[in-house]
Amino acid sequence: MTGSTWLARVEAAYVGAAVEEEFGLLSVDVPPDRWTDAVTVARESLGCTFFDWLSAVDELEEGFRVVCHLAARRTGAVEHLVVRTRIPRDHPVVASVAGVFGGARWHERETHEMFGIEFTEDGAVLPLEGLLLPEEFEGHPLRKDFVLASRVARPWPGAKEPGESDERPRAARARRRALPPGVPDPGQWPGSTTQDEP
Amino acid sequence: MTGAEWLPPRSRGVIALIEENCTSCMLCARECPAWCIHIDSRQETLPSATGRGRDTTRNVLERFAIDYSLCMYCSICVEVCPFDALHWSPEYAYAEGDIRELTHEKDRLREWMWTVPPPPTLDEHAEPAKEIAAAEKAARRSRR
């Protein structure tokens, strides 16, 4: 196989799948039912014997993207490959790749804990233990709708208007109150009793 | 001061404040992803200079504090400031025994200003700074 480029080899190994090059890194998108096969192909046909990491991205209404970074070593260089799949938000289940790379189990436990994604083996959902969070922790902190405790415990310092201070809040508001970017709307916080200010 | 002189000029050690440049517009406090900038200001009414026009109001800064126990050194506040009130200083040695001491109020933030290095010189044939070009244009116009 020497002589052909890494891109050509990846494209030949994943016929029909979308291979993209972004920032010098090759990524291949596969349907979720081919997830384990795709990772196996990378190891068996492309020589990706190094499993780097597996995680996920919360893409809101588009679901979760499960991402796995693999690498192939050859003399004097390393070739990288990112394998990705997208699973629906209301049914976040994907097959485990721990049968291909044993070390992936750690990453799947973390992904399970942080995103609430279930991993299956032979169709059965694996009972994955937590990894980093305390036992009594509730929720999946890397989901974008998760509200961080530190964002609830303290008011947003940017809520004040110019000319306003903590001691003298301005009574009449000319404009609608600014909201902190990236924080879910307070009216939608789980267990919240306060609704939007009028 | 603390041995920061050997660091590259654009090192992010601590953020310094030029209080006079701050209009308390709240942009930095709103953009800060770590919620670590606290600003209090008050409105002051100035009678019109001519005595006939309308009174003007302006915002006066009362408190400007950066909580370095939360700051993640992302530099968004420095970049978003429209009036160049915030600057990076390479000074890094300000560890404290008490976490509350890591909130630097405006006097302390002003003190850091003396440690801000001058901007690095431009590359050869680089475009001159916009401010210089504008000043030169104004000077030419007044000579005519």
Buried b / exposed e over B90-107, threshold 16 CB at 10 Å, is bbeeeeeeeeeebbbebe
Which one is predicted more confidently, A171 or A122? Answer: A122
According to the model, what pLDDT value does residue B3 have?
59
Q: Which residues contact A43 (CB under 8 A, 6 or more apart)?
A: A49, A70, A100, A101
According to the model, what pLDDT value does residue A87 have?
97
Taking residues A69-83, report their average pLDDT: 93
Nearest to B87 by CA among B67, B59, B62, B117: B117
Q: Which of B35, B36, B41 sits opposite A163 (nearest CB)?
A: B41
Q: From the candidates B24, B26, B57, which should be mutated to test the interface with A, based on the most A CB atoms within 10 A?
A: B26
**How would DSSP label each residue in chain A?**
-TTS-HHHHHHHHSTTSEEEEETTEEEEE--GGGHHHHHHHHHHTT---EEEEEEEEE-GGG-EEEEEEEEEEETTEEEEEEEEEEE-TTS-EEE--TTT-TTHHHHHHHHHHHH--EEEETTEEP-PPPSSS-TT--S-TTSTTPPPHHHHHS--GGGSPTT--SSS--SS-SSPPP--TTS--GGGSTT-------
CB under 8 Å, gap of 24 or more: what pairs does B54-62 form? B57/A163, B59/A162, B59/A163, B59/B23, B59/B24, B59/B25, B60/B24, B61/B19, B61/B22, B61/B24, B61/B106, B62/A165
Mean pLDDT score of chain B:
90
According to the model, what pLDDT value does residue B131 have?
84
Query: Count of CB atoms within 10 A of residue B135's CB?
Result: 11
Res. A197: pLDDT tops 70: no
Chain A residues close to B24, C-beta within 8 Å: 162-163
Query: Count of CB atoms within 10 A of residue A27's CB?
Result: 18
Q: Which residues contact A1 (CB under 8 A, 6 or more apart)?
A: A9
Res. A186: pLDDT tops 70: no
Which one is predicted more confidently, B51 or B110? Answer: B110
Res. A52: pLDDT tops 90: yes
> Which of the residue ranges A89-98, A181-190, B37-46, B135-144 would you say has the lowest mean pLDDT?
A181-190
pLDDT in tens, A78-107: 999 999 999 999 999 999 999 999 999 999
- Hey, is the C-beta of A158 within 8 angstroms of any chain B C-beta? yes
Which one is predicted more confidently, A137 or A189? Answer: A137
Taking residues A46-55, report their average pLDDT: 96
Nearest to A66 by CA among A39, A42, A100: A39
Taking residues A35-53, report their average pLDDT: 96
Structure tokens at A3: 């002589």
Cβ distance A163 to B32 less than 8 Å, yes or no, reads no
pLDDT band at A115 (very low <50, low <70, confident <90, very high): very high
Q: Provide the pairing of β-strand A93-95 with A118-121.
A: parallel
According to the model, what pLDDT value does residue A188 have?
65
The span from the first CA to the last CA of chain B, in angstroms, equals 48
pLDDT band at B55 (very low <50, low <70, confident <90, very high): confident
**B7 vs A126: CA distance, rounded Å:** 51
**B21 vs B41: CA distance, rounded Å:** 14
According to the model, what pLDDT value does residue B2 have?
53
Q: How far is A80 from chain B (nearest CA, A)?
A: 29
Q: Provide the pairing of β-strand A18-22 with A25-29.
A: antiparallel
CA atoms within 13 A on the CB side of A16: 4
According to the model, what pLDDT value does residue A112 have?
96
Taking residues B51-58, report their average pLDDT: 83
Taking residues B118-133, report their average pLDDT: 85
- Hey, is the C-beta of A169 within 8 angstroms of any chain B C-beta? no
Res. B62: pLDDT tops 50: yes
Q: How far is CA B97 from the centre of its chain?
A: 27
pLDDT in tens, A134-159: 988 889 999 988 888 888 888 899 98
**B73 vs B68: CA distance, rounded Å:** 9
- Hey, is the C-beta of B23 within 8 angstroms of any chain A C-beta? yes
pLDDT in tens, B6-37: 788 789 999 999 999 999 999 999 999 999 99
pLDDT band at A66 (very low <50, low <70, confident <90, very high): very high
Q: How far is A170 from chain B (nearest CA, A)?
A: 10
Taking residues A22-49, report their average pLDDT: 95
According to the model, what pLDDT value does residue A187 have?
66
The span from the first CA to the last CA of chain A, in angstroms, equals 67
According to the model, what pLDDT value does residue B50 have?
78
Res. A25: pLDDT tops 90: yes
Res. B40: pLDDT tops 80: yes
pLDDT band at A196 (very low <50, low <70, confident <90, very high): very low
Which one is predicted more confidently, B8 or A125? Answer: A125
- Hey, is the C-beta of A134 within 8 angstroms of any chain B C-beta? no
pLDDT band at A174 (very low <50, low <70, confident <90, very high): low
